[in-house]
Amino acid sequence: MVSSKTTLKAGNMLNPTPVVMVSCGYSIDEYNIITIAWTGTLCSEPPLCYISIRPQRYSYKIIKENREFVINLVNDKLSAYADWCGVKTGAQVDKFEATGLTPVRGSKISAPLILESPVNIECKVKEIIPLGSHDMFLSEIVAVDADKSLFNPKTNALELKKANLVSYSHGNYFNLGKLIGKFGFSVEKKK
């Protein structure tokens, strides 16, 4: 290795990541929320994503049995709830009740979405792949629900910037900051 670099032991250093609240459960007494950073998009067509969960986590069994969950995107207002839902366990506390967040039945699945989240991604599990400390839930996106306030009233286009989403990097939550540019900005012709 060249002298300006230090080689560390192999480990997870992919940053920044998303940070999302995953809601699950078939009936209201089973509803739970788990906060997850190990999630991502896997495929466009069909639209596939994943979440990775330790088998010891309280939500693991719920999602494994129901094979459904909702990925709720986190904005700055929700960041303290997201952190709290990542620290606490559903084995000891009803997270919807404790946070006051509102569960709403999904449009395509029984698992609840979190009403206060700006965007809710409804998922059905296709395959559970054991990997070691975590199992990967490879899942199909079956519907997306977004706050009406995020759409441009004239064009009806989704303007996700309005959502004030939060990013996670090396143990820290950040607001998205300055816009650098949109995809393709490096080759855009100046008008």
Q: Is residue 55 part of the contact set for its own copies (CB under 8 A)? A: no
Among 22, 25, 34, 50, binds its own copies (CB under 8 A): 50
Contact track, its own copies, 127-166, x by CB under 8 A: ----xxxx-x---xxxxxxxxxx-x------x-xx---xx
Nearer to its own copies, 65 or 107 (CB): 107
What is the spatial distance between Cα 133 and Cα 130, in angstroms, rounded to a whole number? 8
Q: State the number of CA atoms in the 13 A half-sphere of 145 facing the CB.
A: 18
**Residue keyed to tokens 């490096």:** 186
Q: What mask of x and - would describe binding to its own copies in positions 80 to 119, judged by CB under 8 A?
A: xx-xx-xxx---------------x--x-------x---x
Q: Using the 8-state DSSP alphabet, how is residue 158 labeled?
A: B
Stretch that binds its own copies, among 26-34, 59-67, 89-97, 178-186 (CB under 8 A): 178-186
**21 exposure class (CB count in 10 Å sphere: 0-12, 13-18, 19+):** buried
CA distance 170 to 86: 15
- When binding is defined by CB under 8 A, the residue of 21, 24, 70, 71 that contacts its own copies is 71
